Amino acid sequence: MNASPSHRPHPAEWTETQSLLPSAERDLPAGRHQFHKEQMMARIHEDLRTPSRTSSRTSSRTSATSPVAPVKRSNPFLRRTILLPAAALALAGAVVGGLALTDGGTQDDTTALATGPALTTRIGTADAKGAPQLLDRISLAAADTSAPTPHKGQYIYIASKVADTYIKTVGDKSEAVSSELHSRQVWNSLDGRDGWLIEAGETGDKGITLKGNTPYTGAYNALAALPTDPAALLRKIYQESDAVRDPEVPRDQAAFVAIGDLLFESYPPAEVGAALYKAAAKIPGVVAVDDAVDATGRHGVAIARESDGERTEWIFDKKTLRFLGERVVVVKAKAGDLLKAGTVTHTSAITERAVVDANKQLPGQVS
């Protein structure tokens, strides 16, 4: 398993630095905006019946003629909002952001959404031929069984640093801005029915509950139940993403992102983690990238896939091939885009992964 160390490097190279998913704003046929808005609102109301799980990842690709507000995505493992067009997310984004963080603690007066300049980076060189070999090596590293196996009653703790770029509109002026790099801590029970989230500027100091009747599908037990045969695993991923994927989202991209989501805020058993990387190698369009930088400034190699001008990159340590984080980079800007080539629309870095004995317990604390 690619577990990240507890040491947290200082941020570096912040001229260069979420999707979770690259999700591009595009013109939709007449009636499609309203259709997706209605679908999204129905899902929002459904989520209100149980406490929400949240992610700070933002869908931010937009054109100068159609600026949108920041969009908050719901739990990526449920893969609801990430598979809908950005236009639909923009319509419902303000409501999602207003309702998602109401389950615990007192909101402070700060917000992670700042007004700093947009993060930019050097775009690494992509190599399609090198991807299978790199993924094979990453799979072997992930198969390491030295990480502790969690037991009933324990929780998975993930600490990370995240930031997003979005379009800020004031009056008739729109510009690309990036949020401040901020911390995020998530606890999840093994069955995915209990947990806690603390995200700086988003949840208040106390955080919010992730307790609910609907199991978290990225939970340890759910991951442990996945097939370890790469071909069977990929078929399952395609089937599940096809069931919720908007037709405008490419099928292969949806599958690639779904695998990335299962690798980020999770703790898969070693054999499942290894199978996920081998499954990714079978997705058309996957490439290796010679250099990518996570949210804390750590350089690594990346496995990536491009869709609609944005490239989603999973970043790994160059020597150990440990999973470091992910980012989404604009590689091909369209005419009129406010987000230029080299803009980092989402960046993240895993700083700690651990098994703890209780919800909200930090690694090393005695329960």
Q: What is the pLDDT of residues 308-350, one digit of tens each?
A: 999 999 999 999 999 999 999 999 998 888 999 999 999 999 9
Ranked by mean pLDDT, which of 52-61, 90-99, 304-313 comes out on top?
Answer: 304-313
Residue 76 in this model has a pLDDT that exceeds 50: no
pLDDT band at 93 (very low <50, low <70, confident <90, very high): very low
Residue 120 in this model has a pLDDT that exceeds 70: yes
- Bigger pLDDT: 34 or 214? 214
Contact 299, 12 (CB under 8 A): no
pLDDT band at 16 (very low <50, low <70, confident <90, very high): very low
Q: Distance between CA 41 and CA 210 in Å, rounded?
A: 21
pLDDT band at 190 (very low <50, low <70, confident <90, very high): very high
SS3 3: coil
Q: Give me the count of residues in the chain.
A: 367
Per residue in 125-182, pLDDT (tens digit) is 999 999 999 999 999 999 998 889 999 999 999 999 999 998 888 899 999 999 999 9
Residue 7 in this model has a pLDDT that exceeds 60: no
Using a 10 angstrom Cβ sphere, with 0-12 exposed, 13-18 middle and 19 or more buried, the burial of residue 130 is: middle
Residue 303 Cα to chain centre, angstroms: 15
Q: Distance between CA 70 and CA 94 in Å, rounded?
A: 8
Q: Distance between CA 166 and CA 159 in Å, rounded?
A: 23
Query: Residue 160: its pLDDT value, please?
Result: 97
Contact 233, 226 (CB under 8 A): yes
Q: Distance between CA 25 and CA 70 in Å, rounded?
A: 12
Query: Residue 367: its pLDDT value, please?
Result: 64
Residue 12 in this model has a pLDDT that exceeds 60: no
Query: Residue 331: its pLDDT value, please?
Result: 96
Q: Distance between CA 130 and CA 31 in Å, rounded?
A: 43
**pTM of the complete model:** 0.73
Indicate the range of 13-27, 43-57, 60-74, 286-300 predicted with least confidence.
Answer: 13-27
Query: Residue 59: its pLDDT value, please?
Result: 39
Query: Residue 1: its pLDDT value, please?
Result: 55
Q: Distance between CA 324 and CA 160 in Å, rounded?
A: 10
Residue 41 in this model has a pLDDT that exceeds 50: no
Name residue 362's amino acid. L
Read off the tokens for 274. 């290894």
User: Which residues make beta-bridge pairs with 165?
Assistant: 178
How does DSSP classify residue 120?
B
How does DSSP classify residue 134?
H
Q: Distance between CA 348 and CA 264 in Å, rounded?
A: 9
